[in-house]
Amino acid sequence: MGALTVTVRSGARRTSYPIRIGRGLAGNLGRALAGLAGADRAIVVSSPRVWTAVGPRVAPGLSGMPVVLVPDGERAKHLRTVTRVHDALLDARVDRKTVVLIIGGGVLGDLAGFAAASFLRGLRVVQVPTTVVAQVDSAIGGKVGVNHARGKNLIGAFHPPIGVLVDPDLLTTLPARELRAGLFEVVKYGVIADRRLFTRLERDLDRIRAGDPDALLPIVVACARIKAHVVSVDEHETGLRRILNLGHTLGHAFEAITHYRRFKHGEAVGWGMLAAVAVARARRAMSAAEAGRVAALIDRVGPRPPIADLSAAACVAATARDKKVLAGTLHFVLPTGIGRTRVVTDVTGAALTRALRSLGTSA
């Protein structure tokens, strides 16, 4: 199968950009970049961990481009790391025609994207996502940023890339836990928008979890199409794009109160989706049968770090600092069925507490 292109319309740039998806695409990034950027200068930003895993696959196609390696992981997703990227860009003497080629997962894409957005008032970016979360979600849509000590992704911008190059074969380099964690985000897409994707996950999950590229490719394409549609309709998250936050309100709270040390992002989202399902069931907004299917698939994806020692009260307090709180009101994504959601503004702290306690958190 040749490369497939999904188009994202960017209102910020009054233009569009492609998501190119194909097995083996990462082996010829220089040619793909030339087709996207038409530029004679590019600099690669990656991390030591990612570069060790994928560098041998991608370096031959990069024609000697300079490579900058910076830390990644949620604990490195802060302004100090952004400054390290800025320093490297200065050392490399980049100019406004230089393209920043980001090769890595969601954290690296966010922080290096923010570094590019804030350097010389904005350098062009091409994303080469190397994790499931990045390929199906975070590399698409132009959100970039870093964490603040008081909350996740509170410092950032909308800075759409000029292109996203997705090679599912890169997912074979991931540790098993990293691959599993990303699949929770794929489940999210099935729940919010695509019953057929959800059914495919139920049917093919063993092959997908094993990292079979032929099983991974169609789910990456399905998620990319959903994300591209949502972002094209609502680039700046004033309406439809909020549905992408299913499971993230409490997922971000789990990450924040454990200081980004316990959970992979997708694992926290998995717990957050279960909490959202519990809220929906308590409101009789979702049938028991469909709620059971969602919970069963989340459990089949794999184990998640425990939450029994976490305080429900602390989790609920952390949601008050979530960026989805507007004028003191939390916009909460409520699943109403497989493939259906709605955004509500009347979920109380008490309702969240009950949902968390039903999952086993402490008082």
- 261 and 327 fall within a common domain: yes
Catalytic residue among 74, 180, 185, 267: 185
Predicted local distance difference test score (pLDDT) of residue 73: 87
For position 32, what pLDDT does the model report? 86
Query: Do 94 and 180 belong to one domain?
Result: no
Low-confidence stretches of the chain (pLDDT beneath 50): 1
Contact predicate 131/174, CB 8 Å: yes
For residues 98 and 214, membership in a common domain is answered with: no
Residue 241 annotated to the active site: yes
* 230 contacts: CB under 8 Å, gap ≥ 6: 193, 240, 241, 243, 244
pLDDT at 39: 62
| Given 252, 281, 293, 304, the catalytic residue | 252
Pairing of strands 4-10, 15-21: antiparallel
97 as an active site residue: the answer is no
Catalytic residue (choose from 124, 227, 242, 293): 227
Same domain, residue pair 300 and 151? no
323 is a catalytic site residue: no
CATH number at residue 103: 3.40.50.1970
Total count of domains within the chain: 2
The predicted pLDDT at position 13 comes to 61
Domain boundary among 123, 144, 173: 173
Residue 135 has a pLDDT of 96
Strand, coil or helix: 69: strand
- Which residue among the candidates 265, 281, 293, 304 is catalytic per the annotation? 265
**pLDDT score, position 320:** 84
121 is catalytic: yes
Range(s) of the domain holding residue 153? 4-173
- Residue ending a domain, among 173, 195, 211, is 173
Burial class (CB in 10 A: 0-12, 13-18, 19+), 305: middle
Instruction: Give the CA radius of gyration of the chain.
Output: 20
Instruction: Please give the distance of CA 219 from its chain centroid, rounded to a whole number.
Output: 15
Distance CA(158)–CA(161), nearest Å, equals 10
> pLDDT tens-digit profile of 53-89?
999 999 988 888 999 999 998 889 999 999 999 999 9
Active site residue 265: yes
CATH of the domain at 339: 1.20.1090.10
Is 237 a catalytic site residue? yes
Determine if the pTM surpasses 0.85: yes
Domain boundary residue among 173, 194, 220?
Answer: 173
Same domain membership, residue 208 and residue 324: yes
Catalytic residue check, 354: no
pLDDT of residue 323: 64
Both 197 and 247 in one domain: the answer is yes
Q: Are residues 250 and 144 in the same domain?
A: no
Which is the catalytic residue, given 57, 143, 225, 264?
Answer: 143
Q: Are residues 144 and 209 in the same domain?
A: no
Question: Residues 124, 248, 264, 293: which is the catalytic one?
Answer: 248
Annotated catalytic residue, options 124, 152, 241, 281: 241
Q: Residue 348 — φ and ψ, nearest 5°?
A: -85, 165
Asked if residue 260 and residue 151 are part of one domain, the reply reads no
Q: What single-letter DSSP state applies at residue 74?
A: G
Is 50 exposed, middle or buried, given 0-12, 13-18 or 19+ CB atoms closer than 10 A? buried
Statement to judge: residues 262 and 319 lie in one domain: yes
CA distance 16 to 141: 11
- Whether 316 and 194 map to the same domain: the answer is yes
Q: Of 23, 200, 225, 237, which one is the catalytic site residue?
A: 237
Active site residue 245: yes
Whether residues 168 and 182 fall in one domain: no
Choose, from 242, 245, 264, 281, the residue flagged as catalytic.
245
pLDDT at 127: 97
